Amino acid sequence: MSDTTTPENSVALDEGDLAADYIEELLDIADLDGDLEIEARNGRVYLTVTAEGGQLAPLSKQDVVRALQELTRLAVQSRTGGFSRLILDIGGSRDARQEELTALVEGAIARIEGGAAKASLPAMSSYERKLVHDLVAERGFVSESHGEGADRHTVISRS
C-alpha cells in the first residue's frame, strides 16, 4: 500500500480499505484469486487487482471494469456517506484503456493535421476525459469537453 501522507490521502485510504473488502468478497463469490494493491494519490483511491494465469480476464473487459468500479463506489459511498472517486484496475485494464485513448488522440490529431478544423472523440468518463486532455496538451493541441451526462465527449482542435 502506498501513501503520500496527507489528510486527504488518509481519508482516501479508508475508502480504499472499504473498496478492497468489497472486491475481495466479490472475488471469493466468483471463486477467483487476486492480489489487491491500494494507492492514494491526490485524494483519489486507485485499487489494482492482479492475478497470474489470466484468470481475471473475464473481469478485465472495459465494460465489466466500469460496472464493477461503479458498484464498488456505491458500496463505499453507502458506508461513508460521501462521494467516492475510486479508480479500479483489474488485470491491467487501465493500461489497456490508456493505450486505446492514446490511439484515439493520435487519430484525432492526424485528422486535424490533415486539414480538419476539429476532431470529436466518443463519449467517455470524466477520468478518461482528463487523461485525454493531458495527452492532447502534451501534443500541443487544445481540447474541451462538450455535452451532458453519458454523452459528454472531448473535442480537439489546434491551439
**Over 131-157, what HEC string results?**
HHHHHHHHCCEEEEEECCHHHCEEEEE
Report if pTM > 0.85. no
Question: Which pLDDT tens digit goes with each residue over 57-71?
Answer: 989 998 899 999 999
Residue 54, phi-psi category: left (phi > 0), alpha (psi -120 to 50), beta (remainder) = left
| Domains in the chain, CATH or no CATH each | 2-91 (3.30.300.20), 95-158 (3.30.1370.50)
Question: Which pLDDT tens digit goes with each residue over 89-138?
Answer: 999 998 899 999 999 999 999 999 999 999 999 999 888 999 999 999 99
Is residue 40 within a helix (H) or strand (E), and if so which, with residue range? strand 35-41
Distance from C-alpha of 71 to C-alpha of 125, rounded to nearest angstrom: 15
